[in-house]
């Protein structure tokens, strides 16, 4: 069976970059069962409202919806089940320390295939206030206007 080289993005959590300041990112493996990989290959997963937590020295992912595989019949699993993330023990300890700080969370940014294996990009993030979100939107709009004006001047 050939192993596909490179990185192919399966899902992005766009809302995370809007709702949080991203401090640091980590790459983790994910323990999946049965037909979940086939569903992820089809892009049938949703990272919205998902988060990670360290419990008893292990890292778990909550709130990720992986749709049941249509041809999976009895072998399908619960779409919202808790999934274990795979990382080195020292990384897990570091993530636990960072997540216990006031206002910090562990948020998945993306799920992708790397050399045929499913990986999760996990971010240590600090929540934005409403005024921070408004400032981000204003900055993005200003950048868009500048780009638009530059294109007009180049013509």
Domain ranges in the chain are: 7-127
pLDDT band at 90 (very low <50, low <70, confident <90, very high): very high
pLDDT in tens, 19-29: 888 888 889 99
**Cα 90 from Cα 75, distance rounded (Å):** 35
Q: What pLDDT is attached to residue 1?
A: 44
The tens digit of pLDDT for each residue in 41-85 reads 888 888 888 889 899 989 999 988 888 877 767 767 778 889 999
Report the distance separating Cα 118 and Cα 31, nearest Å.
9
Q: What is the CATH T-level fold of the domain 7-127, as seen in this structure?
A: Small Protein B; Chain: A; (2.40.280)
Spell 82-109 as b/e; 16+ CB within 10 A means b.
ebebbbeeebbebbeebbeeeebbbbbb
**Spatial separation of the C-alpha atoms in residues 110 and 1, rounded to whole Å:** 26
Q: Is the pTM of this model over 0.95?
A: no
């Amino acid at each position: 069976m050939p192993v596909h080289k490179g990185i192919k993005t399966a899902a992005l959590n766009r809302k995370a970059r809007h709702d949080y300041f991203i401090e640091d990112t980590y790459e983790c493996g994910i323990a999946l069962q049965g037909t979940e990989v086939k569903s992820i290959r089809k892009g049938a997963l949703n990272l919205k409202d998902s988060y990670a937590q360290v419990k008893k020295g292990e890292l778990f992912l909550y709130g990720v919806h992986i749709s049941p595989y249509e041809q999976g019949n009895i072998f399908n699993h619960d779409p919202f089940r808790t999934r274990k993330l795979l990382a080195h023990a020292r990384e897990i300890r570091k993530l636990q320390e960072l997540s216990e700080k006031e206002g910090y969370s562990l948020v998945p940014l993306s799920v992708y295939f790397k050399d045929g294996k499913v990986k999760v990009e996990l971010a240590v993030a600090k929540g934005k206030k409403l005024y921070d979100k408004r400032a981000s939107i204003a900055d993005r709009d200003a950048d868009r206007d500048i780009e638009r004006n530059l294109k007009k001047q180049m013509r």
